[in-house]
């Protein structure tokens, strides 16, 4: 191992090879992160997480659906836009703070709901919440989190949003919602992009390379594949999970009204990708939208979420805030999303790469890296505050680099 590192260092120092993308890739693959501060961008954590996690858990985190085309499109689509630098703006005082549906936060980057985080680190969502607390960033907790909502709120030291899977029984949904409201959640984010299953090819392949016995931790179905076991999720405590589904194929827009009738929390709809649905969401009383394709894990649409953002912003017509997630890996991606009209920008896998390798500290470092990259993008474009970021900083090349 040390010989290999020495060789990489020697090659990197070579005037012929130094600075080539191939060297960067080789270093990332080497991915020996002795200390959390060694990570220079989120990709260092990705490579380290891949080495840390068992194949089945890595496969669950890393994969999309079908051929993972949409998963890749989410990141690649950001290359369609270039930044237009501006000069001689006094950038000695930069302010990344903003407000998201009434919550003041230090950064427009929020942590998306990711289920079952004990698969990545024993402290799971509690470690993430502690990180979100020290950096004062918004956290959205998954319905199928490994940790209890109340523990996560205590660790965050401030309200978190609850992501809601609709389930297929409204009385169960109502119990979850009431519990979130009692715990002090101001917002419920209803995920609507997975009404009737998905085709998880890559995750299944990775699982077949895992030599551990899944049944030690999971309920295993007839095919031998682990099944989501809702009964084990803390948010399901006191709910009869017999026959309970995470989502329901029969729901329509009426669900939003039904939900609003049983809660005072603001309702954000997560998984909107079209102008028409954005307008319908506003008509049906949504308080906010998340442009999301579940990180490329729902429909294999082939379209990156950043390419859907403009039409959703148009459909919402300034009436409610629009958040976007999917494929955000750089501060420049965050900048582009804000310039295209997003109020905030969500990250999923990057903070889980940090969690998987260094727990709370890894999550914090991921946020620090993205915030400092965002700050530099703002400096370069002459935007000193989030409000000063505008579409005039962007050039749409109409081409995505793959």
Residues 6+ apart with CB under 8 A from 47: 28, 29, 30, 31
Report residue 144 as tokens: 């199928």
Report residue 365: phi and psi, to 5°.
-65, -40
In angstroms, give the least distance from the CB of 116 to ligand FMN: 7
- Please identify which residue in the block is written with the tokens 């200390």: 35
Quick check: 207 binds ligand FMN (CB under 6 A)?
no
Give how far the C-alpha of residue 357 lies from the chain's centroid of Cα atoms, to the nearest Å: 17
For residue 22, give the H/E element and its range.
helix 21-30
Q: Which stretch binds ligand FMN (CB under 6 A): 47-55, 224-232, 321-329, 333-341?
A: 321-329
| Structural contact between residues 186 and 102, judged by C-beta atoms closer than 8 angstroms | yes
207 vs 297 by CB, closer to ligand FMN:
297
In angstroms, give the least distance from the CB of 385 to ligand FMN: 24
How many residues of this chain interact with ligand FMN, rule: CB under 6 A? 24
Q: Which stretch binds ligand FMN (CB under 6 A): 125-133, 225-233, 291-299, 391-399?
A: 291-299
Give how far the C-alpha of residue 157 lies from the chain's centroid of Cα atoms, to the nearest Å: 21
Residues 6+ apart with CB under 8 A from 137: 105, 106, 107, 109, 110, 111, 367
Applying CB under 6 A, among 50, 57, 107, 113 the residue interacting with ligand FMN is 113
In angstroms, give the least distance from the CB of 188 to ligand FMN: 11
| Structural contact between residues 286 and 267, judged by C-beta atoms closer than 8 angstroms | yes
Residues 6+ apart with CB under 8 A from 347: 109, 110, 111, 112, 325, 328, 366, 370
Report residue 192 as tokens: 């609507």
Report residue 291 as tokens: 């442009």
108 vs 346 by CB, closer to ligand FMN:
346
Quick check: 270 binds ligand FMN (CB under 6 A)?
yes
321 vs 348 by CB, closer to ligand FMN:
348
Sign of the C-alpha dihedral, residues 223, 226, 232, 238?
A: negative
Applying CB under 6 A, among 60, 206, 255, 358 the residue interacting with ligand FMN is 60
Applying CB under 6 A, among 327, 331, 341, 380 the residue interacting with ligand FMN is 327
Q: Which of residues 184-203 bind ligand FMN (CB under 6 A)?
A: 191
In angstroms, give the least distance from the CB of 349 to ligand FMN: 4
Q: Which stretch binds ligand FMN (CB under 6 A): 41-49, 215-223, 252-260, 340-348?
A: 340-348
In angstroms, give the least distance from the CB of 9 to ligand FMN: 31
- Please identify which residue in the block is written with the tokens 């990705």: 46
115 vs 321 by CB, closer to ligand FMN:
115
294 is catalytic: yes
Quick check: 52 binds ligand FMN (CB under 6 A)?
no
Active site residues: 294
What is the contact surface with ligand FMN in residues (CB under 6 A)? 60-61, 74, 112-115, 142, 144, 163, 191, 270, 292, 294-295, 297, 325-328, 346-349
């Amino acid at each position: 191992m040390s010989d290999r590192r020495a060789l990489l260092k020697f090659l990197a120092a070579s005037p012929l090879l130094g600075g080539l993308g191939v060297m960067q890739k080789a270093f990332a693959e080497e991915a020996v992160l002795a200390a959390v501060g060694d990570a220079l961008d989120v990709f260092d954590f990705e490579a380290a997480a891949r080495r840390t996690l068992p194949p089945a858990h890595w496969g669950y985190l890393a994969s999309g659906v079908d051929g993972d085309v949409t998963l890749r499109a989410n990141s690649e689509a950001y290359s369609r836009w270039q930044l237009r630098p501006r000069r001689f703006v006094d950038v000695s005082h930069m302010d990344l703070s903003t407000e998201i549906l009434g919550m003041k936060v230090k950064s427009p980057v929020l942590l998306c709901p990711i289920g079952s985080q004990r698969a990545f680190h024993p402290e799971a969502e509690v470690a993430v919440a502690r990180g979100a607390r020290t950096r004062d960033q918004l956290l959205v907790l998954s319905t199928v989190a490994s940790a209890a909502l109340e523990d996560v709120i205590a660790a965050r030291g401030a309200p978190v949003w609850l992501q809601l899977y609709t389930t297929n029984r409204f009385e169960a949904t109502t119990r979850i919602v009431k519990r979130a409201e009692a715990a002090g959640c101001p917002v419920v984010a209803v995920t609507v992009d997975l009404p009737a299953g998905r085709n998880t090819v890559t995750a299944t392949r990775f699982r077949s390379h895992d030599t551990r016995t899944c049944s030690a931790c999971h309920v295993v179905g007839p095919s031998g594949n682990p099944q989501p076991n809702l009964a084990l999720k803390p948010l399901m405590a006191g709910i009869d999970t017999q026959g309970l589904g995470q989502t329901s194929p029969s729901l329509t827009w009426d669900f939003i009204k039904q939900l609003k009738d049983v809660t005072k929390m603001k309702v954000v709809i997560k998984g909107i990708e079209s102008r028409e649905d954005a307008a319908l969401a506003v008509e049906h009383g949504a308080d906010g939208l998340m442009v999301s394709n579940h990180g490329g894990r729902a429909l294999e649409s082939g379209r990156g979420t950043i390419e859907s953002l403009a039409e959703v912003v148009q459909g919402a017509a300034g009436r409610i805030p629009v958040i976007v997630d999917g494929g955000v890996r750089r501060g420049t991606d965050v900048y582009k999303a804000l310039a295209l009209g997003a109020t905030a920008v969500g990250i999923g896998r990057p903070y889980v790469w940090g969690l998987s390798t260094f727990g709370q500290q890894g999550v914090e470092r991921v946020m620090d890296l993205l915030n400092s990259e965002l700050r530099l993008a703002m400096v370069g474009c002459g935007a000193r505050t989030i409000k000063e970021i505008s579409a005039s900083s962007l050039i749409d090349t109409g081409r995505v680099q793959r």
